[in-house]
């Protein structure tokens, strides 16, 4: 393969008159422009050759295709590749050359057919698949729309309602379901895939099997009036669920055009809309997230050393509270045998009960069978001492946030665990060097920072100290992958990456309300921006105990830039500690529904009198845009510090950490990507102005000042970071 080209296709014509075209572009046979243009040449040749009667398309090495090459969108966005004529691929090649050909095509699908891959197969005249293959149109998740005819062909093959479900949720179906839906014509074992597809193609030529053009099918489409109703409902749901994104509605426009005006007009609309969405900011953000998420496992100096992960056969967890039980759940769900240690029988029973409840909720929802529940629970054993720790390969400590307790536990672990055993802590804030101070095992001490609820939240912050060995990181990255978490490797410091970014966010919110802003308006503006909830609702959810413990760590470690608000401690004194006590910034009813509390004013006023601040008329009347800037620019400022200090190696890792740890909206691309979309100069100037008016909490850090003064991107690599790794 030429080093400048990305992928290719190979065509072989058999003695039976079937031309087999294989898509080759590892690792997922994505449809790069090179692959697509090669495919076109193969078709032209196959159609002109007298010895070819029919065509089979397949993918190399057990994968049909993972879809259009996503990096191609980036090339178009950056202007490094010229856009082909609108509709050139979907209409000229896939429809007019392939589907309308006078020789039939059959898709032989192994492993997966996603996005453009599935769309290409739907233009074939039949689809044969191996069992379990994944079939889906996940384009909306990337900010684009199915652009190779998927908006037209999928509803015609599986019906409008199912097509909408598959497109709007981006969730694939398995081959077996695809078969029952009419998307797949036959499911056969891998070894029989090609022979069946060849035979099927010849059967079509010989009219023993029907020659079906998906685009011309109408039997699965509902009557027009019903279709319009279904689409109206889908639009309403989409507006509610994705209010800040345009591309899902644009996708529905393409779909509806095809139903109302016919598939050819639909294809043209799809091509037009497909071209428009590529330049949306939300699309740029989502594509950035796709690659950044896959980039977190590439850690310079660690994963490029040829180290192989060691097998982790058994894990011990210390502490069966909220986090320990969640971590245990995540591990046993991925078949790791786990020992859960607690302080006494009562706490142990409670911890095991929490794990049980986590799994039972899956049984109730139908996503886990009773047998699987029993089998999974059997992997969990309780313990009150360290005797059973003698053959564990990894321990994760998850006891309360208390330095001396954790120090004692790590000293004990060194005595009881085997020499190779990884010693991990789930601490959210404490310096790992302090935790391991009383051991000689610094090279195997690491942070495994999960987020609550640990069996649900997708992020795992892997915290390494200057002493943690590369092998231990590689091992933990592997465990993270097996338990389906996205790991982000960060350096050791108070709060690591996520909590360091989180802290200024809540602090900025406290500052604003003490100076007169309305907390409920702040929460509303932040939710509209795309966060799952505002900072005050979040504090209620987390609970004031945790909020105060975290704040204490920050005040001790970063006093120069901490805004010390008394609002939460004052409420805590009155036994209102958040949602768990049904009173916090909000009041909660029996169903835990939150409503504003007029009494909150009292605490805000008292806190204001303690801090000595005044109501600022400007802050009382903040617009939503100003609220977002005043709550998130301090987060950008802290993210810059984290990046400049080398706590995060890549800005993209902070983007993923913010999205998966804080709930930052993915379609904004993550905190650094979003900041760069606004511009470092502007962010710097705003923070600088606020710091002069309101104090050092807003003071831009040196990194931001330097890049802001030049208007340089914040996410550009740090050349000489004071690396803490
Ligand atoms: C006129 C207008 C402009 C014209 C432009 C042309 C028109 C475009 C029309 C659009 C046509 C089409 O409708 C659009 C699409 O098809 S978009 C792509 C849809 N497909 C997907 O979203 C699938 C994305 N991939 C995945 O979900 C997973 O990667 C997976 C395929 C399920 C495999 O998962 P897993 O085994 O866990 O492996 P990884 O996720 O780690 O991926 C391995 C590596 O492969 C890279 N990858 C995967 N998919 C793609 C892809 N589609 N394009 C490019 N690269 C891909 C991934 O980045 C990993 O790479 P690294 O190993 O380097 O990290
Ligand atoms: N709660 C969160 O949202 C969250 C998120 C991430 C990380 N963390 C961190 O996780 C850790 C645990 O937090 P949590 O919220 O699960 O606390 P928790 O209070 O719910 O649970 C702690 C458990 O540890 C047990 N324990 C105490 N000493 C022990 C010992 N010597 N041996 C065995 N068990 C012992 C306690 O009995 C208790 O059940 C803390 O370090 C916290 O900072 C918490």
Distance in angstroms between the alpha carbons of the first and the last residue of the chain? 39
ipTM: 0.94
| CA 429 / ligand 1 centre spacing (Å) | 36
| CA 87 / ligand 1 centre spacing (Å) | 20
| CA 370 / ligand 2 centre spacing (Å) | 29
Q: Which ligand is nearest the CA of 91, by number?
A: 1
pLDDT one-digit tens code per residue, 646-702: 999 999 999 999 999 999 999 999 999 999 999 999 999 999 999 999 999 999 999
pLDDT, residue 718, reads 87
pLDDT, residue 723, reads 45
DSSP state letter for 65 = B
Ligand 2 atom at minimal distance to the Cα of residue 408: 31
Q: Which ligand is nearest the CA of 295, by number?
A: 1
Active-site positions read 119, 139
Predicted TM-score of the model (pTM)? 0.95
pLDDT, residue 243, reads 95
pLDDT, residue 724, reads 44
Say which residues have a Cβ less than 8 Å from residue 444's Cβ, sequence separation at least 6.
Answer: 420, 421, 422, 423, 468, 469, 472
pLDDT, residue 3, reads 56
How many C-beta neighbours within 10 Å does residue 343 have? Answer: 13
With the most atoms of ligand 2 within 8 angstroms of its CB, the residue from 318, 321, 660 to mutate is: 321
pLDDT one-digit tens code per residue, 142-155: 999 999 999 999 99
DSSP characters over 403-432? HHHHHHHHHHHHHHS-TT-EEEE--SSS-H
| CA 59 / ligand 1 centre spacing (Å) | 14
Name the burial class of residue 102, with classes exposed (0-12), middle (13-18) and buried (19+) by CB atoms within 10 angstroms of its CB: exposed
Chain mean pLDDT for the chain:
96
For ligand 1, atom 31, which residue shows the shortest CA distance? 66
Say which residues have a Cβ less than 8 Å from residue 346's Cβ, sequence separation at least 6.
Answer: none
Which residue numbers in the chain have pLDDT < 50? 720-725
For ligand 1, atom 2, which residue shows the shortest CA distance? 275
Say which residues have a Cβ less than 8 Å from residue 489's Cβ, sequence separation at least 6.
Answer: 296, 299, 302, 462, 463, 464, 473, 477, 649, 653
pLDDT, residue 721, reads 44
């Amino acid at each position: 393969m030429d080093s400048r080209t990305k992928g290719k296709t190979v065509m072989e014509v058999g003695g039976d008159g079937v031309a087999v075209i294989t898509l080759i572009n590892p690792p997922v046979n994505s449809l790069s422009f090179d692959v697509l243009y090669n495919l076109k040449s193969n078709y032209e040749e196959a159609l002109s050759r007298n010895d070819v009667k029919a065509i089979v398309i397949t993918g190399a090495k057990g994968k049909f295709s993972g879809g259009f090459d996503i990096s191609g969108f980036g090339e178009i966005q950056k202007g490094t590749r010229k856009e082909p004529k609108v509709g050139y691929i979907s209409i000229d090649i896939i429809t007019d050359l392939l589907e309308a050909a006078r020789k039939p095509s059959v898709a032989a699908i192994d492993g997966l057919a996603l996005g453009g891959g599935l769309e290409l197969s739907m233009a074939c005249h039949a689809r044969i698949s191996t069992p379990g293959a994944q079939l889906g149109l996940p384009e909306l998740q990337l900010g684009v729309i199915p652009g190779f005819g998927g908006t037209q062909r999928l509803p015609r093959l599986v019906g409008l309602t199912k097509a909408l479900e598959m497109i709007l949720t981006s969730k694939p179906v398995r081959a077996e379901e695809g078969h029952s839906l009419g998307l797949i014509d036959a499911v056969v074992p891998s070894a029989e895939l090609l022979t069946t597809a060849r035979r099927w193609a010849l059967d079509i030529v010989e009219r023993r099997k029907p020659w079906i053009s998906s685009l011309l099918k109408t039997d699965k489409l509902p009557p027009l009036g019903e279709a319009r109703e279904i689409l109206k409902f889908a639009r309403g749901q989409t507006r509610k669920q994705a209010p800040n994104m345009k591309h899902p509605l644009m996708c529905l426009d393409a779909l509806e055009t095809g139903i109302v005006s016919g598939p050819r007009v639909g294809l043209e609309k799809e091509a037009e809309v497909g071209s428009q969405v590529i330049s949306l900011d939300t699309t740029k953000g989502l594509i950035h997230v796709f690659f950044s998420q896959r980039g977190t496992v590439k850690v310079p100096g660690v994963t490029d050393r040829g180290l192989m992960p060691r097998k982790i056969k058994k894990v011990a967890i210390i502490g069966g509270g909220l986090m320990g039980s969640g971590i245990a759940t995540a591990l046993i769900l991925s078949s790791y045998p786990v020992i859960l240690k607690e302080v006494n029988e009562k706490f142990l029973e409670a911890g095991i009960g929490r794990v049980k409840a986590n799994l039972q909720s899956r049984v109730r929802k139908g996503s886990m069978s009773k047998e699987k529940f029993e089998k999974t629970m059997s992997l969990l054993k309780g313990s009150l001492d360290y005797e059973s720790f003698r053959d564990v390969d990894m321990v994760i400590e998850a006891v309360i946030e208390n330095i001396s307790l954790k120090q004692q536990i790590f000293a004990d672990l060194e005595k009881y665990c085997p020499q190779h055993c990884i010693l991990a802590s789930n601490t959210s804030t404490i310096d790992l060097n302090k935790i391991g101070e009383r051991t000689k095992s610094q090279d195997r001490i690491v942070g495994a920072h999960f987020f609550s609820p640990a069996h649900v939240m997708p992020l795992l912050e892997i915290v390494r100290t200057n002493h943690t060995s590369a092998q231990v990181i590689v091992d933990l990255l592997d465990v993270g992958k097996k338990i389906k978490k996205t790991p982000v490797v960060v350096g050791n410091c108070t709060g690591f990456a996520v909590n360091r970014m989180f802290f200024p966010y809540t602090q900025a919110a406290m500052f604003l309300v003490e100076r007169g802003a309305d907390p409920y308006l702040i929460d509303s503006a932040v939710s509209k921006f795309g966060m799952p909830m505002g900072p005050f609702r979040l504090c209620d959810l987390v609970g004031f105990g945790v909020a105060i413990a975290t704040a204490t760590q920050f005040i001790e470690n970063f006093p120069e830039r901490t805004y010390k608000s008394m609002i939460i401690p004052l409420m805590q004194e009155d036994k209102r500690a958040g949602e768990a006590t049904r009173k916090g910034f909000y009041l909660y009813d029996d169903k835990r529904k939150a409503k504003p509390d007029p009494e909150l004013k009292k605490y805000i006023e008292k806190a204001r009198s303690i801090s000595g601040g005044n109501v600022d008329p400007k802050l009382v009347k903040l617009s939503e845009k100003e609220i977002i800037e005043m709550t998130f620019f301090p987060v950008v400022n802290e993210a810059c510090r984290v990046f400049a200090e080398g706590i995060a190696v890549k800005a993209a890792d902070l983007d993923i950490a913010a999205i998966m740890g804080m709930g930052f909206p993915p379609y904004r691309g993550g905190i650094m990507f979003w900041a760069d979309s606004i511009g470092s100069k502007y962010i710097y100037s705003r923070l600088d102005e606020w710091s002069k008016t309101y104090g050092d909490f807003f003071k831009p850090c040196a990194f931001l000042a330097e890049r802001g003064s030049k208007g340089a991107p914040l996410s550009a690599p740090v050349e000489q970071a004071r690396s803490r790794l």
